[in-house]
Amino acid sequence: MDANTGQNRSAGHKEPLREKINDLFFELWSFGSNALVSWSADRHGIEVLSIPKVRLFTLKEPHDRVFSGPRRLDATQLREVAKSLEVQPVEIRLDFAIGDEKIGLGHDDVEAIFLKFATIKTAHRAVALLDIVGFSKHTPEAQASQLSTLEFALNIAEESCRQKLLPIEMKRSTTGDGFYIWNSKTGPDADIALFVLLAMFMTYYNALKRGIREKDATPELRAAAAIGSHYTFYNPRRKSFDSEEYIVGDVTISAARIIDKTKPNQIVVGAFSRPGHDGKLVYSPEHIIALAAREMEKFQKMPLFGNPVDRFAFYLTGPKRQDGKFANQRMRIVDKHGFEHICYNAKINVFVKGADPYYTGLRHIDLAGGKPQVPKGKVAASY
């Protein structure tokens, strides 16, 4: 017998056990009224911590393992978290072993299923918001065509990034007139990859816009990107391991607020300070964009609808200084609720052989329709 065939047969017992665990968690989840916080295996089965979601988000000083880290805890940790939540663990007795993959389920198997019923907080993640200008003015047919074009360009951009071995696994959720996009991978390198994905999407989209005759299919876009915190939650199914993923938090709110004042064809990047792996190096928008631009050198000579790329330029804009270089000017946006947001204007230029360049984003001089002056002693120009 083939060794792989034997392994597949020996692992065949897992499927009904995974389904059983999924059903048990689904019952505890109670159609979304509860959040499953953490779990621990014992010799009789597993213990699960569950709390109503309305209580979960009113915790003033939650234990650091309520929202972050692996959901699997040891017995001592489980008791600590249970005490902080003022709940008792739910004991689930099983007729199969947890931790022994030969006769039961491995810890990783249970963890993967459990995550779909949990709510996780991520401290730092890059998120971009793509918005179709004037979307509501179009017919339903035109709207469907526009979202399809965006999706096509996003898929091409993701595949291009994967081919260059960037750490990217794109997630997206529709806003009705566009998409939030983020990287399921975390860390500074993953955030840089998301900004590369955004730039590649804009590049492919502009190439499509130039080539497609049906102009309603390629409307004007505007984009906002930022790095910040958010919660992740899911919409699990009783008889399926598939689950839709959603994010909401400071970073999505920030992107939505700043895009409201963003002009057609503009790209804005919210101000952020993102710690690195060692906790010492701090990434700013200038740093992240510079690193993304460096990664985009890998895409030189790639064919862009028949024309090889000579050079990419991805940068933040600003006024020209006395030394001849350009500053990265911070801008202050006041949203409709009166809150202030600091952001930057970004631009992407793509130069190709045998065709006109592709320019995405607005120049610094375009923002005010003239020659904007940098206010002396002030952080940002308002608009």
Q: What CA–CA distance (Å, rounded) separates 178 from 190?
A: 22
Give residue 369's pLDDT.
56
Q: pLDDT for 283-340, tens place per residue?
A: 999 999 999 999 999 999 998 888 899 999 999 999 887 776 788 899 998 888 888 9
Q: Are residues 285 and 303 located together in one domain of the fold?
A: yes
**Element at 125 (helix H, strand E):** strand 120-132
Q: Are residues 80 and 99 located together in one domain of the fold?
A: yes
The last residue of a domain, from among 74, 90, 117: 117
Q: List, in order, residues 6 or more apart from 113 with CB less than 8 Å away.
A: 18, 21, 22, 25, 241
Q: Are residues 61 and 111 located together in one domain of the fold?
A: yes
Q: What mean pLDDT is predicted for residues 186-195?
A: 96
Q: pLDDT for 81-112, tens place per residue?
A: 999 999 999 999 999 989 988 888 999 999 99
**Crossing angle of the two packed helices 285-295 and 188-211, in degrees rounded to 10:** 60
Q: Are residues 21 and 165 located together in one domain of the fold?
A: no
Give residue 278's pLDDT.
74
Residue 6, pLDDT above cutoff 80: no
Confidence label for 379 from pLDDT (cuts 50, 70 and 90): very low
Q: What CA–CA distance (Å, rounded) separates 21 from 40?
A: 13
Give residue 239's pLDDT.
78
Q: Are residues 141 and 283 located together in one domain of the fold?
A: yes
Q: What is each CA distance from 125 to 154, 187, 189, in whole angstroms?
A: 19, 7, 10
Q: Are residues 347 and 232 located together in one domain of the fold?
A: yes
Confidence label for 368 from pLDDT (cuts 50, 70 and 90): low
The last residue of a domain, from among 85, 117, 149: 117
Give residue 46's pLDDT.
96
Half-sphere exposure of residue 10: CA atoms within 13 angstroms, side-chain side? 11
- High-pLDDT (> 90) share of the chain, %: 71
Q: Are residues 112 and 136 located together in one domain of the fold?
A: no
Residue 11, pLDDT above cutoff 70: no
Q: pLDDT for 35-50, tens place per residue?
A: 999 999 998 999 999 9
Paired tokens of 104: 């039961």
Q: Are residues 166 and 90 located together in one domain of the fold?
A: no
CATH of the domain at 231: 3.30.70.1230
Give residue 238's pLDDT.
84
Confidence label for 268 from pLDDT (cuts 50, 70 and 90): very high
Give residue 216's pLDDT.
83
The domain in which residue 97 lies consists of 3-117
Q: Are residues 69 and 210 located together in one domain of the fold?
A: no
The last residue of a domain, from among 98, 117, 136: 117
Q: Are residues 98 and 141 located together in one domain of the fold?
A: no
Q: How close are the terminal C-alpha atoms of the chain, in Å?
A: 71
Confidence label for 367 from pLDDT (cuts 50, 70 and 90): confident
Give residue 66's pLDDT.
97
Q: How many domains does the chain have?
A: 2
Q: Are residues 268 and 251 located together in one domain of the fold?
A: yes
Q: What CA–CA distance (Å, rounded) separates 167 from 232?
A: 19
**pTM for this predicted structure:** 0.89
Give residue 281's pLDDT.
81
Paired tokens of 4: 């792989």
Paired tokens of 72: 């699997």
Q: Are residues 134 and 234 located together in one domain of the fold?
A: yes
